[in-house]
Structure 1
Amino acid sequence: MTQPPPPPPNQPPQQGGFGPPSPQQPPQPPQPQPGYGYPQAASAPQPPQPPQPGYGYPAQQPNPYGQQTPAYGQPPAAPYGAQPQNPYAQPTQPGYGYPGQPPAMPMQPQPGQSGGGRNNTVLFIVVAAVVAIALIVGGGIWYASSGGSGKKHDTASSSGGTGGKDGSGGTGGGQEKVPADPAGQLLFQAPMPTANDIVRTVGSWLTDKAYVKTGVAEVSGYDPVRGTKLWTLKLPGPVCAASKHATAENRTAITYQPKWDTAKTVAGCTQIAAIDLDSGKKLWTQTVKSGDYPVDYQNVTVAQHTVAVGDTDGGAAFDIDSGKPLWLPKPGDDCYDAGYGGGAKLVAVRHCGDLDNGRLLIQNLDPKSGKVISEYRMDPGIDYASVVSTDPLVVAAEAGSDSQALDYFSIDNKTGKLLAHISAPGKTYGGRCDGGTRIEDCKEIVVGGGKLYLATAEHDGNGEYSRTNEIVSFDLNTGKPTGQRAEAGDGYTLSPLRMDGSNLLAYKRPPYDKGGQVVSIDGGSFKQSKLLENPATQSVRQAETSMMPDYAEILFGHGRLYMSDVFASKKGDSYDKKYLVVAFGPKG
């Protein structure tokens, strides 16, 4: 098989980090962490303080950027098989912000200057002086407000969907309107398909006419309210990769196998196709050869009207309407485009050199010609990266020995200059990326309005055995926390979904006796508005909570929520009933 091993049914992967999971280890229950937080804005300049132990600081003082650091891309320690926990089965732990655990601020390196004709920026790690400690009240943390830099960024989104273009970060609002009554209902459930082996079903899209989802060797369009099938595009083999983006005309791209893998042969993900999401029509199919063999493409994206695919054998691009090749791999090139980020712009993650003397480049490209507009060179020791957003440009990488931590790099699209570097320790923040093989596969990380939005790690709530978290934001120009903070509420956990104009959409995973929610968080005030609340019926809630936000595909649009699995079941598996898609919407 060419596909990575999936999680067993109802067992999502752990959060954080790059690379494939390690399924050999037994499931580990999540352990509450000491309280976290960052300091209030300093009232007067203070000299930098050395790193202190405690929550929010790495176990070791990180090396300044520009020095050799351990390569990342190793599997995280936690396995895919981490079961959702019964709230009554967890032992009592010290509460969030327990006395004796002072909150700490993640270190915020400042961007350096490139030199010698290279964008090999040296980052100086500067620890902010702790002048005022965050006030811990009732298991929560209060943050001081801080003003932004005033520089304007266009809004982009990640984790599926498309954002608006209001980049003010203010109260410009979005297309999703707050209903008079947010109470929702189950719209439909699509049954889980089965195959002779576990098969990837990655790919979901939402248009005005259809909700579209990948199945087993097919792509189907569903009526967005009733769930009846509008069309089905049959394929000779499973889908391997699917673009998260589509054109204004609702056209997107996938890669798939020309036949099924067998015990003797591996088909490979060699077929590149564009499809019309409204009609289900396959517009064209292409392959790219390296010598006499077709290239196996695990990465595909759409940027404007360009379909781009990347691999160690080189990147290629095609016009989405005609299928005409725009560029193909160059024989003998010592560099290759491992993959691309799409959407408003096209960004390549380019590897050059060998393992001992390699370099990783982040390139903003002209989608029509492939010409390099700007380039940023990642520092030595960073061998893999994921594209979180192309406009504004933000990439994520593991830069150190902690495989549960991600560092975010905000880069100027026009010049390639590093604007900010944000460290997000895995014990403090959520979000994960698969930068080792799938360049654009990030979950629970959203960029928009000049900010990076991250969920915090789960921690104890106010109620006995309850868990909760928050969403916080960072300024993309300075790398500093903005002071904005949205609480999930006791028993709920928040996951960023996408931007809606200047607002952030987020999903609230519910406690044991409630239905999930979708909320809109105002980009300026951070005030939450409830857009949808799902039924709390046990059977409905079980179907909903089987779709874990850190691995399932979650789309929200037109007041409706669509949650889908990324793996189909193996025939004969004796697990509880599962669904490929669960959809919710307003009543009436």
Structure 2
Amino acid sequence: MSQPPPPPPNQPPQPQGGFGPPPGQQPPPPQPQGTPQPGYGYPQAPQPPQPGYGYPQAPQPPQPGYGYPQAPPPQPGYGYPQPPTVPQPGYGYPGAPQPGPYGYGQQPGGPAGGPAGGGRKPNAQLLIIVAAVVAIALIVVGGIWYSSSGKGGDGKHDTGSSSGGTGGKDGKDTTGGGSGGTEKAPADTASKVLFQVPMPTVATTMSTQGSWLTDKTYVKTGAAEVVGYDPAKGTRLWTIKLPGPVCEAARHTTEDNRTAILYEPAMPTKTDPSHGCSQVAAIDLDAGRKLWTKTVNSGDQPITFDNVTVSAHTAALGATEGGAAFDIDSGKLLWSPKVGDTCYDAGYGGGAKLVAVRKCGDYDNHQLSIQTIDPASGKVISEYKMTKGIEYASVVSTDPLVVAADVGDSAGDGSGISDFFSIDNKTGALRTRISAPGDQYAAKCEGISRIEYCKGVVVAADRIYVPTEEHEGGGSGTRSNEIVAFDLATGKQTGQRADSGDGYTITPLRMDGTALLAYKRPPYDKGGQVVSIDGGSFKETTLMENPATSQAHTVEQSMLPEYAEILYAGGRLYMSQVFANKPLTGVGGKEDLAVAFGTGG
């Protein structure tokens, strides 16, 4: 087993103390290795207003409450008290414009009757450079996604990370009765390490964003490659080599297991530390092959995109130069940026529906619009205009539609979330606004350029599930937290609460039918757990408990839920890093890119 990997240049060091033994009882956990310097590598932390590099935004450092800082005062009831909710007449259904709470106006939306927001149709003024279709015939691996059978809820594909996803359909409350899911507790919940994927050797820190799970393959990006592994043994089944590092990866797939990635056209060098994330490719995860690679030019330069997502059979990409989209099967261009347009699609949320975060106006005076659009044509279906002054927004879920924003930079913890906005997909009207102060809730979004990159929050069945920040636990020197649920129609807490237990930190993963799956990061003397939480009673059932051995514990503790990608299905837990790090001179031990735990034989 490896020692905990050092954080990448734009990732904070691993917090100390929060998951170690209480003072005086046990030696502290291994100290993190020194943080490598960016050097000539990447990803560099974006420097506004320099757009287009497409690298992940710098994760914000964990705030007090993650380790052993002063605990917030005890809170009554379930979770934490909320500010009074201003009534929303009709919860935003069609009617005359109504002022929303805290000055956030409701904007009835409707079909635009033309190209989505202007500029979503191909424009003759742009030169579209289409690279040759690259078909690397490799070992064909069959398999279907853990969607409605293994992931529950909506039959969509949200296995890309632990950010959560959607489940259930807009407006339907399916939290009563049985879970309807497929994840059942085994006779023996004790797991073992199934396999480890060693960290690739790289000359500098390199992005390894993206992981997916089918019923026959665990797929993980590596150093300028995408690899399919046997999900039980970790044997390499197929490899797609790329000319440069993967910058971003779509979290969703098509029904036939195709997805999209962004990558650089070449490897970084001292003279060219970045070549820009200009290459978009479609990947067939069943066949283990790249279907096509495309670029989009603005003038004579390729656009470097910031984010990519998939909805239906559309791969949509956002950037400060504007948005573009391709048919994921054929590679046909569906729309591209319009020259001279003062509005642009900063990014998209995918999955059940396609939602654009569109910006209009000057750099320091943006107006954000949240548009549900047709994935084939880009035509606007509905639109909600956010109040001016909100610079960034993240798409948490597209069905039900929920976006997050840090209003007035009030979160205070770098999470990117002070409020959630529940929006009607059909009309574009605001249903309700949910206050989620950064010092009380632990979800995080990186909406500056990574529009769909939210962690620790799940939306399903007209509910949003959010973890609280850590606070004092029941034992001496211990910490704990909860997952609480809010109603997306009323904005009020449902009264449901799932406790982590002393020393653990609980994070929602995804839905399994009407049950919520969650991961519990362990204290110093135990292994992590995966639990299923009944959608009605919120009763917890343990599905897996990982080994408490020092080696297993060390590698598990290196995979912080705030940054690592965490997938669970069929009694197996997959945890992976989103960066490959340059080895440090004089530091012993090997790092892991990914690790898999499993129950049963």
The question of 1:349 aligning with 2:357 is answered: yes
- The Cα of 1:154 is off from its aligned counterpart by 6.5
Measure how far apart 1:532 and its partner are: 1.0
For residue 148 of structure 1, what is the aligned residue in structure 2?
A: none
- 394-403 vs 510-519, which deviates more? 394-403
- 1:210 match: 217
Change (3 A) 1:461 1:27: closer
Q: 1:322 to 1:341 in 2, by over 3 A?
A: same
2:262 is matched with which residue?
A: 255
Superposed CA offset, 1:298-329 (max 9, x none): 20000011100010111111111111111111
Matched AA of 2:502 = D
Structure 1, gaps ≥5 residues long: 1-7, 14-19, 32-74, 127-152
Partner of 1:230: 237
Structure 1 partner of 2:597: 584
- Asked whether the 8 Å contact 2:75–2:81 carries over to 1, the reply is no
Q: 1:557 Cα deviation (Å)?
A: 1.1
Equivalence for 2:50:
none
**Separation in structure 1 between the aligned mates of residue 87 and residue 358 of structure 2, nearest angstrom:** 24
494, 498, 503: which one pairs with 1:482?
494
Q: Counterparts of 1:400 and 1:95 in 2: how far apart (Å)?
A: 23
TM-score by length of 2: 0.77
Q: Secondary structure at the match of 1:582?
A: strand
Q: Percent identity?
A: 58
What is the alpha-carbon root mean square deviation over aligned residues? 3.2
> For 1:531-546, what aligned pairs fall within 5 Å after superposition?
531-546=543-558
Identify which of 298, 319, 323 aligns with 2:306.
298
| Cα separation, 1, equivalents of 2:65 and 2:241 | 34
| Residue 9 of structure 1: aligned partner | 5
Among 116, 119, 122, the alignment partner of 2:100 is 122
Q: Deviations over 1:532-559 (max 9, x none)?
A: 1111111111111110101100011112
The aligned counterpart of 2:296 is 288
Deviation at 1:95, TM superposition (A): 8.9
Q: Structure 2 stretches of 5 or more lacking a match?
A: 20-56, 105-152
Change (3 A) 1:121 1:348: farther
Distance 1:446 1:555 in 2: 14
Counting only pairs closer than 5 Å after superposition, residues 484-503 of structure 1 correspond to structure 2 as 484-503=496-515
Contact 2:264 2:276 in 1 (8 A): yes
1:368 equivalent in alignment to 2:354: no
Mapped partners of 1:333, 1:78: distance in 2: 32
| Aligned-residue offset at 1:578 | 1.7
1:142-541 aligned at under 5 Å gives the runs 159=162, 165=168, 167=172, 168-173=174-179, 174-265=181-272, 266-402=274-410, 403-404=412-413, 405-541=417-553
| Structure-2 change in CA distance of 1:278 and 1:412 (3 Å) | same
Range that drifts further, 257-266 or 498-507 = 257-266
Q: Secondary structure at the match of 2:581?
A: strand
d(CA) in 2 for partners of 1:26, 1:189:
21
Name the counterpart of 1:105: 82
- Once structures 1 and 2 are overlaid, which stretch shifts more, 395-404 or 226-235? 395-404
Decide whether the 8 Å contact of 1:198 with 1:570 is kept in 2. Answer: yes
Distance in 1 (CA, whole Å) between partners of 2:395 and 2:59 is 23
C-alpha deviations, 1:164-212, integer Å up to 9, x for none? Answer: 5474122342121222221211111100112111011110000011000
- State the distance in 1 between where 2:75 and 2:219 align: 46
- For 1:362 and 1:554, locate their aligned partners in 2 and report how far apart those are by CA, in whole Å: 28
Change (3 A) 1:125 1:456: farther
2:164, 2:455 within 8 Å by CA — same for their partners in 1?
A: no
Which amino acid in the other structure matches residue 183 of structure 1?
A: A
Query: For residues 539 and 422 of structure 1, do their structure 2 counterparts lie closer, same or farther at Cα, with a shift above 3 Å needed?
Result: same
1:587 CA drift (Å): 2.5
Could you say what secondary structure the match of 2:277 adopts? coil
Matched, 1:554 2:555: no
Aligned residues: 497
Deviation at 1:519, TM superposition (A): 0.6
Structure 2 distance, partners of 1:184, 1:221, is 23
- Would you say the 8 A contact 2:8–2:579 is kept in 1? no
CA separation in 1, counterparts of 2:374 and 2:71?
53
